[in-house]
Amino acid sequence: MENKKLGFVILSFSVVATILALGFMGTLGRQTAALQCYPTSECQRVGSLIGMSHIAVGLISFIGALGIYLLFFSTSEEAILNRLEEEKNMKLDQDKFQLVLKAMDENEQKVIKAIKEQDGITQSTLKFRTDLSKAKVSQILTDFEKKNLVKRELKGKTYAVHLTENF
């Protein structure tokens, strides 16, 4: 059962139980007033029932709090599974990126890491971030385009560089 539904059911149960417990406690209070409670066995029975009713109110309060928690604060199993799946996919992407990096030389690694850090980076910014010449950056990007790792889009007098979706 989904946590929110379970929380609603538990909260409903605790509200009904609270109404019944308060009604029972009211009846006991009226009996206590009617008996004027002298130390008799009848008064002792009423006194013990009042003590048990207070325990019942505590349990009902706990059940109500559990229902509120499940209704408003608890994440469902589906949300947890989705988060775990996202983390797994991110880890796979990072592993794939690391494998691709191993096949590249130092300059290519600098360029691809800079592109990954700032998608849409311009070639002129890439030149400064990697500390490579304009010609070297252009050559590396042309090789990456041939390998379908990046794509360039015209942006003013320079190009914006993006990683391709299959990378």
Q: How many domains does the chain have?
A: 3
64 & 87 share domain: no
19 & 48 share domain: yes
Q: Which stretches of the chain drop beneath a pLDDT of 50?
A: none
DSSP 64-88: HHHHHIIIIIPPPHHHHHHHHHHHH
Give the sign of the dihedral formed by CA 75, CA 68, CA 10, CA 54: positive
Count of alpha carbons within 13 angstroms of residue 145, beta-carbon side = 13
53 & 33 share domain: yes
62 & 85 share domain: no
Instruction: Write down the pLDDT at residue 167.
Output: 65
130 & 68 share domain: no
95 & 111 share domain: no
The dihedrals phi and psi of 133, each to the nearest 5 degrees, come to -70, 160
Instruction: Write down the pLDDT at residue 40.
Output: 67
CATH number at residue 151: 1.10.10.10
Is the full-model pTM beyond 0.95?
A: no
- Of 56, 85, 101, the last residue of a domain is 101
DSSP 167: -
Instruction: Write down the pLDDT at residue 100.
Output: 86
pLDDT in tens, 113-154: 999 999 999 998 999 999 999 999 999 999 999 999 999 998
15 & 41 share domain: yes
Q: 83: burial class by Cβ within 10 Å (0-12, 13-18, 19+)?
A: exposed
> In angstroms, rounded to a whole number, what is the distance separating the alpha carbons of residues 161 and 151?
6
Instruction: Write down the pLDDT at residue 37.
Output: 66
28 & 52 share domain: yes
28 & 83 share domain: no
Encoded amino acid at 69, one letter: Y
What is the domain extent for residue 96? 77-101
